[in-house]
């Protein structure tokens, strides 16, 4: 089974939480290895998520904040 970009997108919240199974992680890693768009997105999200968790609501543009909230499954 191969993941599509939208499959990976749907997994991002769990992925960022570290709550994916080893199998899901392997599938995601396989997709990320071949898809630059998703790997960039994940990188960006991981960086922002870390800041977000450490500092709470940052002074981000609304658009960015909504994207992050959506990705993390948080209320906007």
Give the footprint of Zn ion on residues 56-75 (CB under 5 A). none
DSSP assignment, residue 50? H
Using an 8 Å Cβ cutoff, are 15 and 29 in contact?
no
Write down the least CB distance from residue 39 to Zn ion, Å. 8
Of 35, 60, 69, 72, which lies in the binding site for Zn ion, with binding defined by CB under 5 A? 35
Of 38, 42, 45, 68, which lies in the binding site for Zn ion, with binding defined by CB under 5 A? 38
Q: Which is nearer to Zn ion, 38 or 48 (CB)?
A: 38
**Integer angstrom CA distances of residue 24 from 2, 18, 28, 59, 68:** 11, 11, 6, 33, 21
Which residues lie near Zn ion (CB under 5 A)?
A: 5, 35, 38
């Amino acid at each position: 089974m191969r993941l599509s970009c939208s499959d990976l997108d749907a997994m991002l919240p769990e992925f960022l939480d570290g709550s994916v199974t080893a199998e899901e992680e392997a599938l995601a890693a396989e997709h990320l290895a071949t898809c630059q768009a998703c790997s960039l997105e994940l990188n960006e999200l991981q960086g922002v998520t870390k800041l977000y968790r450490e500092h709470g609501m940052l002074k981000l543009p609304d658009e960015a904040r909504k994207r992050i909230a959506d990705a993390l499954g948080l209320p906007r």
